[in-house]
């Protein structure tokens, strides 16, 4: 009974000394741990974490049983463990930092632009989107493939360097001509920066998702790959099926026509004043994806 009383007194003492700074500290650590767990669950690093935990368990057991040789070997390994973790989890760390860079802070800074500039920018983006929709419709009818990447907050300089800089005003004819199967730049991705066709013939990283359907070709895997690593919106026209697809955040939705493609691209590329509409758009994207999978 005395131990219970002492324990209760300790809790009350800690509660009385708990300040606002302590609360902020606890919340920050909780969010950090939650983010790390979420990052691990969303990537293939889960198995690596299990292996690391097993390593630590073996080290503790060897230390307890005084297995000197195993303990010595593991001690040397753990001396360089931090560097090894950085190397092994480099893709995950990079992804986390990129997601941090896409936070609402940068969005707030962008909102300083005047309303006149915003309206002009929206007009140019709508023209661009219509041009892309017209081009994809023409390529769909000709059964020619296309891979179009819309750059957003994450800059794609490394991807652009693998292709040829075009920096041209967008038209449906220009975009379709680039992907014409006899054109020199057709076998690669087009990168849209701002409201211009900035580069073509670019090489994209393939997705690391091993559970994809075997029916998805290289274009779709490249679209998913760049959408996993960046916040880009990617449009794919299949050469085999003539289907138009869109990849965002590692998710692929399919069976778009001219009108539905314009709607989805406007939702992702043209700034919204109402954040709720963005949420509805993401929900509709997921519903479309689920329907396509079934």
Concatenate the DSSP letters of all residues of 75-118 into one string: HHHHHTHHHHHHHHTHHHHHHHHHHHHTSHHHHHHHTTS-HHHH
pTM: 0.62
Convert the pLDDT of each residue in 196-214 to its tens digit: 999 999 999 998 887 888 8
CA nearest neighbour of 251 among 216, 201, 275: 216
Apex 31 CA angle, 26 and 32, nearest 5? 100
117-127 b/e with 16+ CB inside 10 Å = b? eeeeeeeebbe
For residue 117, pLDDT beyond 70? no
Cβ atoms of 285 and 253 closer than 8 Å: yes
- What is the mean pLDDT of the segment spanning 95-102? 61
Residue among 251, 217, 218 at smallest CA distance from 234: 251
Contact assessment for residue 175 and residue 141, using Cβ atoms and an 8 Å cutoff:
no
Confidence of residue 111 (pLDDT cuts 50, 70, 90): very low
Contact present, 154 and 102 (Cβ < 8 Å): yes
Average pLDDT of the residues of the chain: 78
Give 146: exposed, middle or buried? Use CB within 10 Å, 0-12, 13-18, 19+: buried
Q: Where is pLDDT greater, at 108 or 129?
A: 129
pLDDT given for residue 14 in this prediction? 67
Phi, psi of 252, deg, nearest 5: -120, 125
Least confident of 76-80, 149-153, 229-233: 76-80
* Per-residue pLDDT reduced to its tens digit, 35-47: 766 665 555 555 5
Inform me whether the pLDDT recorded for 248 exceeds 90. Answer: yes
For residue range 174-188, list pLDDT tens digits in order. Answer: 999 999 988 888 889
């Amino acid at each position: 009974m005395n131990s219970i009383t002492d324990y209760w007194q300790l809790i009350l003492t800690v509660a009385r000394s708990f300040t606002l700074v302590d609360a902020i500290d606890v919340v920050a650590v909780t969010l950090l741990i939650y983010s790390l767990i979420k990052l691990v669950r969303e990537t293939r690093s889960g198995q690596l974490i299990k292996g690391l935990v097993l390593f630590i368990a073996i080290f503790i057991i060897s230390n307890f049983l005084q297995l000197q040789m195993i303990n010595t070997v593991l001690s040397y390994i753990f001396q360089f463990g931090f560097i090894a973790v950085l190397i092994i989890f480099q893709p995950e760390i990079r992804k986390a930092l990129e997601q941090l860079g896409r936070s609402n802070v940068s969005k707030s800074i962008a909102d300083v632009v005047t309303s006149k500039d915003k309206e002009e920018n929206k007009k140019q983006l709508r023209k661009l989107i219509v041009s892309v929709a017209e081009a994809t419709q023409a390529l769909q009818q000709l059964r020619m493939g296309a891979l179009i990447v819309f750059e957003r907050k994450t800059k794609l300089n490394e991807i652009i360097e693998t292709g040829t800089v075009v920096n041209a005003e967008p038209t449906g004819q220009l975009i379709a001509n680039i992907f014409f199967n006899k054109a020199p730049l057709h076998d690669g991705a087009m990168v849209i920066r701002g409201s211009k066709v900035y580069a073509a013939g670019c090489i994209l990283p393939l997705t690391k998702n091993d559970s994809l359907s075997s029916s998805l070709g290289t274009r779709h895997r490249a679209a998913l790959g760049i959408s996993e690593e960046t916040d880009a919106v990617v449009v794919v026209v299949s050469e085999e099926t003539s289907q138009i697809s869109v990849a965002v955040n590692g998710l692929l939705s399919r069976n778009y026509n001219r009108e539905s493609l314009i709607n989805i691209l406007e939702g992702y590329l043209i700034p919204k004043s109402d954040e709720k509409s963005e949420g509805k758009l993401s929900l509709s994207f997921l519903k479309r994806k689920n329907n396509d999978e079934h």
